[in-house]
């Protein structure tokens, strides 16, 4: 009822000719019911707001297909139910919760508006008896009798439902109420909504009611039949048999999970898998079959069995290895890197001779942008295996590697098992990216969790916490990448074979640019069709003046910037260079980032050029020293670490002892500085550079130009071996330094460096600092200072790779 001008009139007499339509899913709401309804945010929530501004009526219509992406007006039924909005509550996600009173049926005649709101012109069909009063009365009594029978035998009927059933007197409302409490298909519900004819409506409801009663009766019969068969040990079997019988009677697909897991068990027995695995799967299947679907354990067990079923328990398939194809794949994707390619080909050769050889663990170490990740992809392609990559950088939880135990909510297996679930092959190539950036958190040490994964002797029976069963990882080819070895656990490092990828020299970068990079950049920026070429000198200018890093990532960024500038000129219709010269590079990219080479030339006394290794490749360090007023000792600046502090003290003590004159240092302090003070620097290899700087300062003589040096110095003047020789040579060559002083103990490492890297360079191996001084200072300056040492007086000779070594290198290539 509704109050209008002080009078009470029936609601259905003031129903509007137009309604805001709100589609609903699953099942319609029948007339004569007060119920809450949640309307999702968006235009239908706005329709509710608009309806409340007017007469508060909305039209509820059922969607034909919930999954269909058709327009709403094309995906709804013509008949619906008009409802009065009694109350509205806004929800946090933009949806609204409304309390509605459904009034009567309506039929959509046409649409007044589709956007932004769905508004339809409707009519309200009058209910037709379709039969005599006595017939309707008889059908009504039958409906009540059958409904009471269902209520007595169905525990889902509440007392409130039974009370409502007794209080409804109108046949049409009674039919609607009974239909609303039945469990039928949504199309059947809608057919009742569309039944304006009362006789037809009651007949349909009686039919659906009879099916429901028969189903309940069948359920009771099943219970009685099974009760006779079971004993005390079989009581848990009851619910499963009951469910199977009901599903079979309804014609539904039954036991899809049971069949799936039974096939999985047969598959494990055929392999055959580890007996422990088979036993655990059988145990979990028994639990699954006996567990109620409505319990939390049911989904836990099902997820566990699904994950187990999706893993590749079978042995890896045999693959025909074509070494020539593998070599072509590696050569196609990567320029040079001969030692890396050689190692991969060695692995493939062993695999070809002995297919049962288990997986290896490689660690690719090098500065950013040298192609570590892309090499791993090429390895997988060359081997014909599936590839999976995940980054362990910043990982702080060991469960990321070994999974969570199933006792936790939301437990899942670790990354390794997840990778094999995705690739579905036991001999996949798995890349552990950025392994040097593993963290240590409150949830354990992921680096320690990797020990079992990366140990060939242990990973044959790897146990993920979630599976808690042995799984063979020995066929997996693990590849790890890192920028530096310093932060990797020594125990973890012991399980991997290290392959160093040094930075690229300018010639290599030019080749990479011409063969791979420029084409990629043109395609990426959409200017490939314009046939833009770039001169080799322009490429060299791009490398030397805009991207001097060890890798080629910075070169790619600058090339992208160059291409974007060209794209802008093309779009604007301006003239653009079709053949890029060095002058065009500067016009497009602006002022060069690297133009000043003063900090690589020790042009005054008290300066010397050292070579350093960093996590992003080799670098040059111009070390400076001056005398300042003080009481002796040494003052250090330039973000120098502990090892370099000790090296400076050793260098000062050695030079004092070498010169044999303490008076030179008593009234003055040496201020030693390493430029680029914002960057932390550490390591012992700057020892001979610091000693040379101090000696040059004390003698007030500059050293010979064009030399770079590296080597650790002892208090007795011995020059000890250092690491990262190739990176340091590349760094020196990059800045135009072609004479390298290095420890003679590093000769083997020098011989392993390819000839094209050493081309144009001169190398001076030394074992004592006196040899360094003789190379860098004029004889008349230094001869009177150096003390004669018979065992170290052999003349220092410039060494270059011997012809024999060269020929061996060519043979290897």
Eight-class DSSP state of 799 = B
Contact 647, 769 (CB under 8 A): no
Q: Say whether both 567 and 612 belong to one domain.
A: no
Joined tokens for residue 462: 């790897």
Contact 730, 614 (CB under 8 A): no
Determine the distance from the C-alpha atom of residue 764 to the mean position of all C-alpha atoms in its chain, rounded to a whole number: 47
Eight-class DSSP state of 28 = P
Interatomic CA distance for residues 22 and 44, integer angstroms: 6
Assign 230 a pLDDT band (cuts: 50, 70, 90).
low
41 in a labelled binding site = no
Q: What is the pLDDT of residues 491-504, one digit of tens each?
A: 888 888 888 887 77
pLDDT in the model for residue 794: 41
Average pLDDT for residues 710-739, to the nearest whole number? Answer: 89
List, in sequence order, every residue forming a beta bridge with 128; answer none if it has no partner. 197
- Closest to 724 in 3D by CA, of 705, 737, 707, 743: 743
Domain coverage including residue 35: 14-123
Average pLDDT for residues 287-312, to the nearest whole number? Answer: 84
Assign 380 a pLDDT band (cuts: 50, 70, 90).
confident
pLDDT in the model for residue 10: 56
Count CB-CB contacts under 10 A for residue 726. Answer: 22
Q: Which of 191, 685, 696, 767 is catalytic?
A: 685
Domain assignment present for residue 32? The answer is yes
370 in a labelled binding site = yes
Q: Does 802 score more than 50 pLDDT? A: no
Distance in Å from the first CA to the final CA of the chain: 96
Pick from 74, 100, 123: which residue ends a domain?
123
b/e per residue, 97-134, with b = 16+ CB within 10 A? ebebebbbbbebeeeeeeeebbbbebeeeeeeebbeee
pLDDT in the model for residue 480: 92
Q: Say whether both 351 and 442 belong to one domain.
A: yes
Average pLDDT for residues 449-454, to the nearest whole number? Answer: 85
The helix (run of H) or strand (run of E) holding residue 806 is helix 803-812
Give the chain's domain count.
5
- Closest to 425 in 3D by CA, of 472, 468, 376: 472
Q: What is the pLDDT of residues 577-627, one digit of tens each?
A: 889 998 888 888 888 877 655 567 787 899 999 998 876 667 888 899 999
pLDDT in the model for residue 691: 94
**Looking at residue 513, which CATH number applies to its domain?**
1.10.8.60
Contact 763, 799 (CB under 8 A): yes
Domain assignment present for residue 204? The answer is no
Q: Is 428 a catalytic residue?
A: no
pLDDT in the model for residue 4: 44
Place of tokens 């260098």: 651
What are the C-alpha distances in Å from 512 to residues 120, 334, 508, 552, 674?
A: 66, 8, 6, 8, 33
Beta strands 361-365 and 497-500 are parallel
Query: What secondary structure does DSSP assign to 219-232, as a single string?
Result: HHHHHHHHHHH--G
Joined tokens for residue 381: 């392609």
The helix (run of H) or strand (run of E) holding residue 120 is strand 119-123
**Looking at residue 493, which CATH number applies to its domain?**
3.40.50.300
Q: In a 3-state reduction of DSSP, which class is residue 591?
A: coil
- Closest to 764 in 3D by CA, of 789, 743, 790: 743
Domain assignment present for residue 434? The answer is yes
285: left (phi over 0), alpha (psi -120 to 50) or beta: alpha
**Looking at residue 640, which CATH number applies to its domain?**
3.30.230.10
pLDDT in the model for residue 250: 58
List, in sequence order, every residue forming a beta bridge with 708; answer none if it has no partner. 740
pLDDT in the model for residue 358: 66
pLDDT in the model for residue 673: 92
72 in a labelled binding site = no
Domain assignment present for residue 344? The answer is yes
Alpha helix locations (H) across 501-550? Answer: 506-512, 518-524, 536-546
Cα angle value 422/427/429 (rounded, 5°): 70
Count CB-CB contacts under 10 A for residue 609. Answer: 26
Q: Does 440 score more than 50 pLDDT? A: yes
Joined tokens for residue 373: 């990740």
369 in a labelled binding site = yes
Instruction: Indicate the length of the chain as a whole number.
Output: 813
Q: Say whether both 632 and 685 belong to one domain.
A: yes
Q: Say whether both 447 and 519 belong to one domain.
A: no
Q: Does 476 score more than 80 pLDDT? A: yes
Joined tokens for residue 780: 């008349």
Interatomic CA distance for residues 17 and 254, integer angstroms: 48
- Closest to 505 in 3D by CA, of 460, 461, 556, 544: 544
Average pLDDT for residues 294-312, to the nearest whole number? Answer: 87
Cα angle value 351/485/365 (rounded, 5°): 50
Residue 410: CB partners within 8 Å, gap ≥ 6?
404
Q: Say whether both 284 and 330 belong to one domain.
A: no
- Closest to 602 in 3D by CA, of 585, 617, 622: 622
Alpha helix locations (H) across 54-108? Answer: none
The helix (run of H) or strand (run of E) holding residue 500 is strand 497-500
Q: Say whether both 578 and 646 belong to one domain.
A: no
372 in a labelled binding site = yes
Interatomic CA distance for residues 610 and 675, integer angstroms: 12
Interatomic CA distance for residues 324 and 302, integer angstroms: 46
pLDDT in the model for residue 254: 47
Domain assignment present for residue 394? The answer is yes
Q: Say whether both 511 and 579 belong to one domain.
A: yes
Assign 231 a pLDDT band (cuts: 50, 70, 90).
low
Place of tokens 């490492």: 749
Interatomic CA distance for residues 274 and 311, integer angstroms: 14
List, in sequence order, every residue forming a beta bridge with 712; answer none if it has no partner. 720
pLDDT in the model for residue 509: 84
Place of tokens 């420890």: 743
pLDDT in the model for residue 492: 86
Interatomic CA distance for residues 528 and 17, integer angstroms: 62
Interatomic CA distance for residues 770 and 767, integer angstroms: 9
Determine the distance from the C-alpha atom of residue 139 to the mean position of all C-alpha atoms in its chain, rounded to a whole number: 65
Q: Say whether both 517 and 480 belong to one domain.
A: no
Cis peptide, bond prior to residue 116, ω within 30 of zero: yes
Q: What is the pLDDT of residues 22-67, one digit of tens each?
A: 998 888 888 888 889 988 888 888 888 888 888 889 999 998 887 7
Q: Say whether both 337 and 464 belong to one domain.
A: yes
96 in a labelled binding site = no
Domain assignment present for residue 692? The answer is yes
Q: What is the pLDDT of residues 684-697, one digit of tens each?
A: 889 999 999 999 99
Domain assignment present for residue 438? The answer is yes
Q: What average pLDDT does the structure give for the chain?
A: 82
Query: What secondary structure does DSSP assign to 369-391, as a single string?
Result: TS-HHHHHHHHHHHHT--EEEEE
Interatomic CA distance for residues 574 and 590, integer angstroms: 18
- Closest to 189 in 3D by CA, of 23, 21, 28, 59: 28
Pick from 123, 148, 183: which residue ends a domain?
123
- Report which listed range, 229-233, 291-295, 429-433, is most confident: 429-433
Query: What secondary structure does DSSP assign to 420-471, as a single string?
Result: HHHH--TT-EEEEETGGG---BTTB-HHHHHHHHT-TTTGGGEE-TTT-SEE
Pick from 477, 500, 523: which residue ends a domain?
500
Q: In a 3-state reduction of DSSP, which class is residue 756?
A: helix
Q: In a 3-state reduction of DSSP, which class is residue 600?
A: helix
pLDDT in the model for residue 162: 56
Q: What is the pLDDT of residues 392-415, one digit of tens each?
A: 887 878 888 888 888 888 888 989
Q: Does 349 score more than 60 pLDDT? A: yes
Q: What is the pLDDT of residues 85-116, one digit of tens each?
A: 999 888 888 889 999 999 889 999 988 888 88
Q: Which residue has the higher pLDDT, 791 or 665?
A: 665
Interatomic CA distance for residues 94 and 38, integer angstroms: 11
Joined tokens for residue 12: 């259905």
Q: Does 168 score more than 80 pLDDT? A: no
Query: What secondary structure does DSSP assign to 664-731, as a single string?
Result: HHHSEEEEEE-S-TTS-B--GGGHHHHHHHHHHHHHT-PPPTTEEE--EE-TTSBEE--S-HHHHHHH
- Closest to 472 in 3D by CA, of 274, 743, 741: 274
341 in a labelled binding site = no
Q: Which residue has the higher pLDDT, 226 or 737?
A: 737
366 in a labelled binding site = yes
* Percent residues over pLDDT 70 in the chain: 87
Q: Say whether both 750 and 639 belong to one domain.
A: yes
Q: Say whether both 332 and 274 belong to one domain.
A: no
Q: Say whether both 276 and 379 belong to one domain.
A: no
Assign 767 a pLDDT band (cuts: 50, 70, 90).
very high
Q: Is 804 a catalytic residue?
A: no
**Looking at residue 30, which CATH number applies to its domain?**
2.30.130.40
Name the least confident of 199-213, 217-231, 746-760. Answer: 217-231
Average pLDDT for residues 235-260, to the nearest whole number? Answer: 62
Assign 127 a pLDDT band (cuts: 50, 70, 90).
confident
Contact 648, 688 (CB under 8 A): no
Q: Which of 415, 681, 728, 758 is catalytic?
A: 728
Alpha helix locations (H) across 230-274? Answer: 238-250, 256-270
Q: In a 3-state reduction of DSSP, which class is residue 629?
A: strand
């Amino acid at each position: 009822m509704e109050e209008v001008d002080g009078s009470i009139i029936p609601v259905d007499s003031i129903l509007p000719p137009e309604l805001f339509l709100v589609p609903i899913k699953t099942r319609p709401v029948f007339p004569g019911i007060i119920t809450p309804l949640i309307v999702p945010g968006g235009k239908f929530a706005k329709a509710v707001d608009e309806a409340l501004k007017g007469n508060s009526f909305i039209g509820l219509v059922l969607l034909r297909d919930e999954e269909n992406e058709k327009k709403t007006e094309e995906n709804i039924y013509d008949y619906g139910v008009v409802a009065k909005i009694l109350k509205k509550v806004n929800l946090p996600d933009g949806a609204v919760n409304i309390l509605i009173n459904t009034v009567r049926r309506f039929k959509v005649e046409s649409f007044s508006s589709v956007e932004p709101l769905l508004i339809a012109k409707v009519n309200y069909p009058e209910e037709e008896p379709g039969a005599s009063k006595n017939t309707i009365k008889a059908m009504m009594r039958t409906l009540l009798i059958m409904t009471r029978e269902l209520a007595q035998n169905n525990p889902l009927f509440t007392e409130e439902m039974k009370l409502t059933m007794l209080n409804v007197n109108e046949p049409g409302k009674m039919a609607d109420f009974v239909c609303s409490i039945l469990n039928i298909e949504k199309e059947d519900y809608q057919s009742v909504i569309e039944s304006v004819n009362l006789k037809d409506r009651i007949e349909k409801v009686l039919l659906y009611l009879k099916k429901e009663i028969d189903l309940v009766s069948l359920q009771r019969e099943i219970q009685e039949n099974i009760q006779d068969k079971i004993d005390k040990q079989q009581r848990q079997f009851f619910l499963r048999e009951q469910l199977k019988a009901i599903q079979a009677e309804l014609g539904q697909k039954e036991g899809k999970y049971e069949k799936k897991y039974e096939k999985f068990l047969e598959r494990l027995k055929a392999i055959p898998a580890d007996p422990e695995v088979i036993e655990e799967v059988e145990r979990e299947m028994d639990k699954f079959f006996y567990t109620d679907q409505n319990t939390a354990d049911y989904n836990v067990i099902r997820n566990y069995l699904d994950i187990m079923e999706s893993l590749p328990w079978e042995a890896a398939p045999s693959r025909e290895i074509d070494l020539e194809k593998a070599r072509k794949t590696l050569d196609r994707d990567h320029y040079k890197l001969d030692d890396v390619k050689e190692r991969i080909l060695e692995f493939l050769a062993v695999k070809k001779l002995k297919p049962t050889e288990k997986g290896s663990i490689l660690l690719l170490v090098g500065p950013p942008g040298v192609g570590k990740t892309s090499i791993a992809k090429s390895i997988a392609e060359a081997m014909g295996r599936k590839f999976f990559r995940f980054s362990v950088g910043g990982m702080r939880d060991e469960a990321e590697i070994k999974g969570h135990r199933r006792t936790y909510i939301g437990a899942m297996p670790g990354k390794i098992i997840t990778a094999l679930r995705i690739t579905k092959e036991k001999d996949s190539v798995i890349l552990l990216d950025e392994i040097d950036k593993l963290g240590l958190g409150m949830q354990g040490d992921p680096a320690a969790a990797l020990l079992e994964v990366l140990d060939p002797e242990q990973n044959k029976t790897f146990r993920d916490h979630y599976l808690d069963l042995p799984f063979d990882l020995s066929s997996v080819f693990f590849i790890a990448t890192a920028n530096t070895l310093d932060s990797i656990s020594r125990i973890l490092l012991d399980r991997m074979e290290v392959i160093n990828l040094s930075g690229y020299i300018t010639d290599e970068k030019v080749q990479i640019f011409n063969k791979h990079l420029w084409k990629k950049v043109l395609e990426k920026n959409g200017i490939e069709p314009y046939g833009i070429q770039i001169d080799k000198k322009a490429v060299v200018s791009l490398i030397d003046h805009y991207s001097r890093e060890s890798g080629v990532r910075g070169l790619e960024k600058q090339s992208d910037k160059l291409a974007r500038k060209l794209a802008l000129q093309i779009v604007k219709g301006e003239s653009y260079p079709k053949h890029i010269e060095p002058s065009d590079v500067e016009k497009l990219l602006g002022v060069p980032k690297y133009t000043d080479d003063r900090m690589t030339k020790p042009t005054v006394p008290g300066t010397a050029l050292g070579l350093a290794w960093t996590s992003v490749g080799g670098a040059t360090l111009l070390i400076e020293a001056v005398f300042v007023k003080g009481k002796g000792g040494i003052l250090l600046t330039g973000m120098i670490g502990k090892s370099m502090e000790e090296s400076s003290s050793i260098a000062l003590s050695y030079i004092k002892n070498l010169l044999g004159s303490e008076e030179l240092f008593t009234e003055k302090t040496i201020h030693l500085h390493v430029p680029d003070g914002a960057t932390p620097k550490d390591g012992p290899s700057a020892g001979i550079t610091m000693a040379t700087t101090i000696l040059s300062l004390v003698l007030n003589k500059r050293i010979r130009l064009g030399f770079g040096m590296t080597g650790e110095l002892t208090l007795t003047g011995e020059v000890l071996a250092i690491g990262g020789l190739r990176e340091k040579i590349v760094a020196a060559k990059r800045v135009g330094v072609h004479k390298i002083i290095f420890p003679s103990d590093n000769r083997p490492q020098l011989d392993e460096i390819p000839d094209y890297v050493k081309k144009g360079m001169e190398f001076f191996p030394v074992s004592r600092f006196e040899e360094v001084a003789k190379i860098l200072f004029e004889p008349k300056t230094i001869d009177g200072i150096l003390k004669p040492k018979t065992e170290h007086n052999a003349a220092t000779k410039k060494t270059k790779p011997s012809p024999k070594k060269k020929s061996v290198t060519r043979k290897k290539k």
